[in-house]
Structure 1
Amino acid sequence: MTNFALKVTRLGFSLLQSVSPRIAGKAAFRLFCVTPSTKPKGEKAKAAHAAGAAKVAGAERFTLRLAGGGRAHAYRLNGGALGRRPRYLVTHGWGSSGAYMADIVTTLAATGAEVIAVDFPGHGRAAGRMLHMGMAVKAIAAAERRFGAFDAAIGHSFGGAALMVAAAGMLPGAPAVLPEKLVLIGSPSEMHWLFKDFGKLIGLRRPAQQALENEVHRVTGRRLEAFDASGAAGAIQRPVMIVHAEDDKEVSANHARRYAAASDAVRLHWANGFGHRRIVAALPVLDAIRGFLAEDDSGKHAEIIPLFDLPARRVSL
């Protein structure tokens, strides 16, 4: 949001909340859920998107229908092969897409696994301009309905938090999607801070801020403070790996520490130096994820059978 647009937005909300804090809160929630343009901005972003899209160009594509309305998009690699193979789900962060997760997708596909990458509503190839946690969880549930249970799920930022919310079955009326393992990369452990920061950004006063948070409850069926993914990490009784960089400027490293403190089943892997975005394409991170997923229950590594020369297909995003 440009400085001019922010000033206009603040002025509008100042006037609106003077008339009705409740209406201002509802309007703020809608604004919060508006997704950014799917077109990359800047030469670096355009190059990264083009490279990622090229890597998943040969994937099968699917439309996923969400319960209650809305659609998501999915890519699938190594689908339809005979014999049992692991099935992995990959989810992206806010303003991202499956194409930006291409390094993780192809790294996992190289092990022989069936890999599904989801574009949430309003992202990538999925239609719409709105997304909230409830819609993301429904997209994850739609992926499980279409492709079957997942052996593991890997998510970045918002997508990682959505995986944990889905795994814990936090949303009323939405069935839990509980893979055998979870990997969360640069993911927030709770969302309250994000709504507080957003409210401050647009100049909400306390009554309108409360109305904004009440709207979360109305739409999702859960109060904002109930979305505690770190607590869920300790409750689901599954192996979880948290990958985070202490230099992450978008999601504080304290979120990773909260996850790690939740359970002995949570493994914390620091990927310092890769920030919030480059972390999804960093070779040490890709190797750590592949190793974690290859471990059996005893912590030993199962055999990995590569399908193609992985290094030649990697790209820095």
Structure 2
Amino acid sequence: MASFAIKVTRLALKTVAAFSPETAGQLAFRLFSITPSRKPKSGKEKAALAAAEPVMARARLVTLSFAGGWVTAKHFEARSAGGPTKRILLVHGWGSCSNYLAAMIDGLTAGGAEVVALDWPGHGASPGRTLTMPAAVRAVDAAWRQFGGFDVAVGHSFGGASLACAAGGVVDDVPSHVARKMVLIGAPSEMTWLFKGFGKYLRLSAKAQAALENMVVRLSGRRLEEFDAARILGMLITPVLVIHAQDDKEVSADHARRYAVAGDNVQLEWANGLGHRRIVSAAPVIARINAFILAETVDRRKAA
């Protein structure tokens, strides 16, 4: 059953739409873009943030500016030297922050990688209360300009889709940025389902729904359908590792299957039993990503 607040929101949007579907769609987009509270929602989240403090204390904070705002990046040096250091761009999901990726940061730096972890706008140490996919792509562009590119890009959930969209150059005035290897964890494969689901939840009229989706065009110069992460990755030659749990209740495993058939450069591995959030801290998942990175080094040596 819908909450009282949702019922009021639906009624308000219906009333506005009767006079201006365009305005109703724009208001719905504002609601769609509002980021969740940064405060931990449970004792488990508080404990996770406390456990992350020793790792996050090693970070060097970097401010990255882009058109429309700025974000905080946390730069971690590699903790071991067994060969050429790989630079990794690591991004979290919606409603999360880089601190929740502390176990992965620790594992990747121990494996010999240099890690740059972003906090999206409206998340973690970055300012703001809203986040859109075009803003995420601009933040990735800012990181690329600051650090001179990345060997590997790793993203969880919304972060994974954002890296794919950044690789596809789907924001008109932002160049595409493709890492030499990519890892997507529990990531949605396209954005249309989110917008359609949100519009259905708010019971938007067809015209208001069209106005909601048109906001993507106004912000990026591209239609919503072009933010298709699976299609984008399938057109690349860069190796992509998709890790997903079939028991993920937030992003259906069908998204992982869609990635898997997108192109020969994409490989899918299941991490069943880890759901949507525990997957980023699981030792086997971190070990698999490190192996994926190491395999790139071995392949290049063979090619030489």
- Find the counterpart in structure 1 of residue 195 from structure 2: 195
Letter in 2 for 1:72: V
Aligned equivalents of 1:301 and 1:272: distance in 2? 33
Distance in 2 between residues matched to 1:192 and 1:21, nearest whole Å: 19
Counting matched residue pairs gives: 301
Contact 1:72 1:118 (8 Å CA) reproduced: yes
Work out the CA distance in 1 between the residues paired with 2:45 and 2:176: 34
Q: Answer yes or no: is the 8 Å Cα contact 1:295–1:301 preserved in 2.
A: no
Which residue of the partner structure matches residue 306 of structure 1? none
Residue 299 of structure 1: CA displacement? 5.2
How far did residue 112 of structure 1 move? 2.1
Q: Distance in 2 between matches of 1:128 and 1:297?
A: 39
Q: Any stretches of 5+ residues in structure 1 without a counterpart? A: 303-317
Query: Identity across aligned pairs (percent)?
Result: 52
1:250 aligned partner, one-letter code: E
Kindly state the Cα deviation for residue 296 of structure 1 after the two structures are TM-superposed: 2.7
Q: Is the 8 A contact 1:35 1:129 kept in 2?
A: yes
- Which residue does 2:247 correspond to in 1? 247
Following superposition, the deviation at residue 258 of structure 1 comes to 0.9
Residue number in structure 1 paired with 2:205: 205
Gaps of 5+ in 2: none
| Contact 2:236–2:265 (CA under 8 A) maintained in structure 1 | no
Moved over 6 A (4+): none
Give distance in 2, aligned partners of 1:134 and 1:108: 28
Q: 1:69 — aligned with what?
A: 68
Q: Give the distance between the partners of 2:266 and 2:196, measured in 1 at CA.
A: 28
Partner of 2:77: 78
Quick one: distance in 2 between partners of 1:70 and 1:231?
29
- Cα distance in 2 for partners of 1:298, 1:60 equals 30
Residues 267 and 299 from structure 1, CA distance in 2 versus in 1: closer, same or farther, beyond 3 angstroms?
A: farther
Q: Any conservation in 1 of the 2:244–2:253 contact (CA below 8 Å)? A: yes
Amino acid at match of 2:50: A
Q: Which amino acid is the alignment partner of residue 289 of structure 1?
A: I
Report the RMSD for the aligned CA atoms in angstroms.
Answer: 2.2
CA-to-partner distance for each residue in 1:266-295, whole Å, 9 max, x for gaps?
Answer: 110100111111110111111111111110
Question: What CA distance in whole angstroms lies between the structure 1 residues aligned with 2:48 and 2:264?
Answer: 37
Q: List aligned pairs for 1:272-311, cutoff 5 A.
A: 272-296=272-296
CA positional deviation for 1:298: 6.2
Contact 1:133/1:162 (CA < 8 Å) preserved in 2? yes
CA distance in 2, matches of 1:71, 1:288: 32
Aligned position for 1:56: 56
- 1:111 corresponds in structure 2 to 111
> Is 1:44 aligned to 2:41, yes or no?
no
Deviation at 1:91, TM superposition (A): 0.3
Alpha carbons 1:294, 1:301 under 8 Å: kept: no
Report the secondary structure of 1:262's partner residue: coil
**Counterpart AA for 1:11:** L
Q: Secondary structure, in 3 states, of the residue corresponding to 2:62?
A: strand
How big is the shift at 1:144? 1.1
Three-state SS of the structure 2 residue aligned to 1:267 is: strand
Deviation track 1:104-160 (CA, whole Å, cap 9, x = no partner) reads 111111122211000011000000001100100111111111111100010000000
- Please report the TM-score for the alignment, with normalisation by the length of structure 2: 0.94
